[in-house]
């Protein structure tokens, strides 16, 4: 029997996630100084969910940036950020979630903490919640709930996003007395959300990604058309079901290779006894060997 060698991407996913988190927050000295990076990198957004109020943040948060543009008095939609997100999404789809998002990595690390683990298979309807978060909190509310000047609040950032508390509020309050003094009821609410996500991540696998993340929702919409795809070689597949069992996002890859919930983590590839599952990158439908047209 050939010794199976797992695709290097999947094999080193943890390191890639760590590296991506570091690169996304490369300005480490700022944590001690309690200041933000104010350079040109902030004109662009990073692919994952990373608060631009994080002292180390090298770029803007895509969700925050979108709301900032829509919530400004000058604009009602952001072509710039949507364009960037479409590019990210069409190129990589939810590979971004699986490999490049700091908050996704955070939840996975928490999940490694030993505890009883609960399956989310029966909670599939909750997956639709993130689309509602995307539509309502990220798009509609900043657009419609405006003051007399046409300015709207970034509702997701303000009321829901736990990443902002983890990366922004907490590090900044540690070094800045003024910010500490300003922490009020809103912070309490957000911190409780963070706590809930933390506890949830120990027990469930990536609950925020599955149920709440608007960025994940957007990339999910593009998963089916992304150039980065999953391929199941139907000749090699013996329908043993090991992949579906290994998948923590509750996807059966043999039935739906580019399912909206697939974060391309490669756990199915690891579980497959016949090495039938592969990563593919390119134009056209490469999801199974029956249709290999370019």
Partner 1 sequence: MFMTKKQAQLLLLAAGVLMLLFGVWRGEADTVFSKAIRLCMECVGIG
Partner 2 sequence: MKFNRVTALSLSLVLAFSLAACGQGASSASSASSASSSASSAAAESKTEEQLLAEENEILSANDALWEKVFSSMDKNVTETTLSTNYGDFLLNAVEKAKDQFSDEEYKTLTADAEKIRDIENQIAALAPADAAASGAAAQGTAFPKFEGSDLEGNPVDNSLFAGNAFTVVNFWFNGCKPCVEELDDLNDLNEKVKAQGGEVVGINTETLDSNQQGIDAAKKLLATKGASYRNIYFASGSEAGKFALNIMAFPTTYVFDRDGNVVGQPLLGGIDKEENLAALQKNIDAALAKDSAK
The answer to whether 52 contacts partner 1 (rule: CB under 8 A) is yes
Closest CB to partner 2 among residues 62, 89: 62
Which residues are CB-contacts of 47 (< 8 A; sequence separation ≥ 6)? 62, 88, 92, 96, 100, 101
Is residue 78 a contact residue for partner 2 (CB under 8 A)?
A: no
Q: How far is the CB of 21 from partner 2 (least distance, A)?
A: 13
Q: Which segments of 160-237 are extended strands (E)?
A: 228-232
Residue whose CB is less far from partner 2, 48 or 55:
55
Return the residue of 37, 103, 211, 219 that touches partner 1, per CB under 8 A. Answer: 37
Report residue 51 as tokens.
Answer: 């608060």
Stretches 108-116, 123-131, 221-229, 272-280: which one binds partner 1 (CB under 8 A)?
221-229
Using the contact rule CB under 8 A, the part of the chain among 10-18, 41-49, 118-126, 240-248 near partner 1 is 41-49
Q: Is 116 in the site for partner 2 (CB under 8 A)?
A: no
Does residue 198 bind partner 1 (CB under 8 A)? Answer: no
Binding characters for partner 1, 154-173, by CB under 8 A (x = yes): x--xxx-x--xx--xx--xx
Tokens standing for 24?
């996304």
Contact call for residues 102 and 48 (beta carbons, < 8 A): yes
Cβ pair 103, 163 in contact under 8 A:
yes
By the rule CB under 8 A, 109 interacts with partner 2: yes
Q: Which 81-120 residues touch partner 1, going by CB under 8 A?
A: 81-87, 90-91
Supply the minimum distance, in Å, between the C-beta of residue 272 and partner 2: 25
Q: Is residue 190 near partner 1 by the rule CB under 8 A?
A: yes
Q: Are 217 and 131 in contact (CB under 8 A)?
A: yes
Q: Is 257 in the site for partner 1 (CB under 8 A)?
A: no
**198 near partner 2, judged by CB under 8 A:** yes
CB 156, min distance to partner 2, A = 15
Residue from 61, 68, 101, 267 touching partner 2 (CB under 8 A): that is: 68
DSSP letter for 4, please: P
Closest distance to partner 1 from the beta carbon of 259 (Å): 15
Q: Compare residues 86 and 109 and give the one whose CB is closer to partner 2.
A: 109
Question: Which residue, 48 or 152, is less far from partner 2 as judged by CB?
Answer: 152
- CA atoms of 233 and 289, how far apart (whole Å): 6
- CA dihedral for 76, 82, 83, 84, sign (positive or negative): positive
Helix (H, G, I), strand (E, B) or coil at 232: strand
* CA dist., res. 14 & res. 90, Å (int): 23
Sign of CA dihedral 95, 82, 160, 126: negative
CB 288 within 8 A of CB 239: no
Report how far residue 59's alpha carbon sits from residue 290's, in angstroms, rounded to the nearest whole number: 42
> How far apart (Å, rounded) are the C-alpha atoms in residues 110 and 198?
7
Judge whether 246 and 271 are in contact, CB under 8 Å. yes
Stretch that binds partner 2, among 58-66, 87-95, 164-172, 234-242 (CB under 8 A): 164-172
The residues that touch partner 2, with contacts defined as CB under 8 A, are 33-36, 68, 71-72, 109-110, 112-114, 147-149, 151-153, 165-166, 169-170, 172-184, 187-188, 191-192, 194-195, 198
């Amino acid at each position: 029997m050939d010794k199976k060698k797992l695709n290097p991407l999947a094999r080193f996913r943890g390191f890639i996630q760590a590296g991506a988190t570091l690169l996304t927050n490369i300005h480490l000295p700022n944590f001690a100084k309690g200041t933000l990076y104010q350079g040109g990198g902030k004109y662009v957004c990073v692919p994952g969910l990373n608060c631009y109020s994080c002292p180390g943040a090298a770029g803007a948060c895509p969700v925050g940036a979108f709301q900032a543009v829509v919530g400004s008095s000058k604009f009602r939609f952001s072509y710039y950020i949507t364009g960037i997100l479409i590019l990210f999404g069409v190129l990589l789809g939810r590979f971004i979630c699986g490999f490049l998002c700091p908050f996704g990595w955070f939840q996975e690390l928490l999940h490694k903490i030993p505890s009883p683990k609960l399956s989310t298979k029966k909670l599939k309807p909750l997956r639709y919640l993130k689309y509602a978060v995307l539509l309502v909190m990220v798009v509609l509310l900043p657009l419609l709930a405006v003051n007399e000047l046409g300015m709207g609040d970034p509702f997701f950032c303000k009321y829901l996003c736990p990443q902002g508390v983890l990366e922004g509020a907490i590090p900044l309050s540690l070094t800045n007395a003024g910010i500490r003094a300003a922490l009020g009821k809103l912070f309490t609410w957000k911190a409780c959300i963070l706590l809930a996500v933390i506890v949830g991540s120990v027990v469930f696998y990536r609950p925020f990604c599955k149920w709440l993340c608007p960025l994940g929702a957007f990339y999910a919409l593009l998963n089916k058309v992304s150039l980065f795809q999953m391929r199941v070689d139907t000749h090699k597949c013996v329908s043993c079901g090991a992949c579906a069992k290994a998948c923590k996002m509750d996807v059966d890859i043999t039935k739906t290779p580019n399912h909206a919930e697939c974060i391309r983590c490669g756990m199915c590839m690891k579980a497959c006894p016949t090495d039938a599952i592969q990563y593919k990158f390119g134009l056209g439908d490469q999801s199974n060997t029956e249709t290999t047209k370019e």
